[in-house]
Structure 1
Amino acid sequence: MKNNKRFYGIRKKLVIFTILAAILPLGIMGVVLAGSINKNVTDLNMENYSHSNSKMIGNYQMMEQGFDELTRNYITNTYIQKSLERRELLPQDQVYVNRSLWYSNNQYTEYGIFIDNKGNEYFANKVISNVKPEDILSEELREALSDNYSLTKIMYSTIDRNGQEDSGIFLVRNIRHMEQNVEPGILIVKLNQDFYDNIFFDINKHAPAIYAMATMEGEICCRTGGEDQEAEISREILLEAKGKLSDDAVEAGEVVHFAADNRICFANTDKNRNLMFLSVVPEAVIWAPARNFLKSMVLTMLISAAVCIVMSAFVSHPFRKAISAISRIMSNFDGESLNQEIQTSTNTELDQVAVSYNKMLKHIGTLMEEVKKEQEEIRINEYNSLVYQINPHFLYNTLDNIHMLARMDGDEIMVRLIQSLSSMLRISISKGENDVSVKNELEHVTCYLNIEQIRNEDLFTYEIKAEESVLQVMIPKIILQPVVENCIKYGFADMEEDGKIQLEVSAEDSFLVMRVRNNGSAMEPEILDKLNQMQYQGMEQIKQTFPQKKGGYGISNVVCRLCLRYGNRFRISYESTEEMGTVCTIMLPVE
Structure 2
Amino acid sequence: MKRNEKVSGIQKKYLKYTAALLGLALLLSSLGAGLYIKNRLTRAVIAKYEFMTERMGISLENLFRQSDEATAECVLYDDVQQSLRSKGLEEVSRIGLSKYFAYVGLEHIADYCYVDNKGNVYSKSYSDVTFEDVTDSGFQDYLGEDYARTKWFWAKDTLFGTEQEALFIGRYVRSMEYAHEPGMLFFKMDDAFLEGITGTSGELTSEAAVGIIDTKGQLCFSSVPEEFSLGKKRQADISERIAGSGSAGMILEGEHIPGGVLSAYRDEASGLAVFSFVPDKVLNQGIFPVFLVLAGIYLVVLAAAAVLSIYFSRRFTKPIQEIRTAMAEFDGSNFDRTIELHTNTELDEIGHSYNELLGNIQRLLEEIKEQERELRTSELNMLISQINPHFLYNTLDTIYMLARINKEETTMRMIQALSRYLRLSLSKGNDIVTVEDELENVKSYLEIQQIRNRDLFSYKVECQVDAAHTTVLKLVLQPLVENAVKYGFQDIFEGGQIRITVWKEEGELYLEVYNNGTPMEADMVQKINGMNKLPLGEMKNSFPDKRHGYGVVNILTRLRLKYGDGAAFYCKAQADGTTCTIKIPQGDGQEAYEQEQIQI
Select the structure with the greater relative contact order (CA < 8 A; seq sep ≥ 6): 2
TM-score normalised over the length of structure 1: 0.49
